[in-house]
Amino acid sequence: MPYPMTFTPPFRLLALAGALLACATLANADDVLLVGNKADASVSALDTGSGQEMIRLPVGNGPHEVVVSGNGLLAVVGNYGAQGTANNSLSVIDWPTRTVVRTIDLGEDARPHGIRFLPDSQRVVVTTEASERLLVVDLAQGKVLDRIDVGGGKPHMVALSPGADRAYVSHVESGTLSVVDLLHKKKIAEIPTGAGSEGVAVTPSGTQVWVSNRDGNEVVIVDSKRLEVTDRIRTGLFPIRVAMTPDGKYALVTCAKSAELAVIDVVAKKEIKRIGLAREGAEYRRTMLGEEALPIGAVVSPDGKRVYVAISGGDEVAVISTANWTEKARWKAGPEPDALAIVVQPKEES
């Protein structure tokens, strides 16, 4: 593990208190879906049993991504800013107490976007488009520990290898994927992947990195050892995010412009289903990408039975069953939902 677990006492005590509260009051509760509402500077918490909003927390302007720690105690939101106005902060949410406990100023590193927790549940890696870096941020200390230059071309999303020794950063404008050695804190490779490389996900085995090329209407597969593209698979229009099922059998690609979710068999490297997500006659909000349904963020439930997709233009979340790849429900979200993450709630042993 590249970053050993260390805690500062106040933060640890808060986390411990929160964990005790969670165990006391939320046993057998349904998991919670966190939704970043870009046009509302907020994060909604939806009960996955009912789809009802439990709470809405204010965060910074333009929350583009949200992630949850492995222990389920913290969530971190990247406050990207709005068009023409950059932001440079992270909001830290203590989930058991339902409070924003810290706002971390990233200083010169503006436009934070892709975020992933490191295994210690205390540090995150964050891409910053304005400074063209990958940051390592300590949440307990509230400061940036490392700044790793990853180069230009709009570094956007990030994914981690299973052991968190490597980070993979997509670059939208240059159409490349950077490979970062987190042990030595340096970029070690840049792989040409395709026009508009944005979404990125790693298979559970760590052997493949999947990248969606939004301008090329395709996903590509990168061999993590050879560090080269081995396959290209056509998708719907403007594929913008990639999510993996927990068993690694399927890659799920949100296609924003054609308003579809593409389901791809990872072993066969073949699309098996395309689910339409636009509703006939529905009115959609105007966003930077147009006045359309615009599915963007996607996350899979820990048991692999559901996929949640943010319908940014419709202020909704689509709930899809993986048993037959059909939509089962639509839940109301806040204005322009995008980022999604799941808080796994403690369960009593039967």
Q: So what's the pLDDT on residue 346?
A: 81
**Number of CB atoms found within 10 A of residue 302's CB:** 11
**Under a CB-based contact definition with an 8 Å cutoff, are residues 337 and 312 in contact?**
yes
Could you report the per-residue pLDDT of 166-183, keeping only the tens digit for each?
A: 999 999 999 999 999 999
SS3 track for 147-189:
EEECCCCCEEEEEECCCCCEEEEEECCCCEEEEEECCCCEEEE
For 99, the token pair is 């409070």
- Spatial contact of 112 and 124, defined as CB atoms under 8 Å apart: no
pLDDT for residue 135: 98
Q: Do 283 and 292 touch, CB atoms closer than 8 A?
A: no
pLDDT at res. 14: 54
Structure confidence at residue 32 (pLDDT)? 98
For CA atoms 232, 233, 234, 236, the dihedral sign is negative
User: Angle at the Cα of 286 (from 210 to 44), degrees rounded to 5?
Assistant: 65
pTM metric for this prediction: 0.92
Contacts of 318 (CB under 8 A, 6+ apart): 261, 277, 295, 308, 309, 311, 327, 329, 330
Q: 5 to each of 17, 120, 146, 280, how far by Cα in Å?
A: 18, 5, 16, 50
> Which pLDDT value is given to residue 11?
56
State whether the Cα torsion 333-335-339-341 is positive or negative.
negative
- Segments of the chain scoring below 70 in pLDDT: 1-28, 348-350
For 54, 57, 72, 73, 174, the CA distances from 93, given in Å and listed in that order, are 15, 9, 11, 8, 33
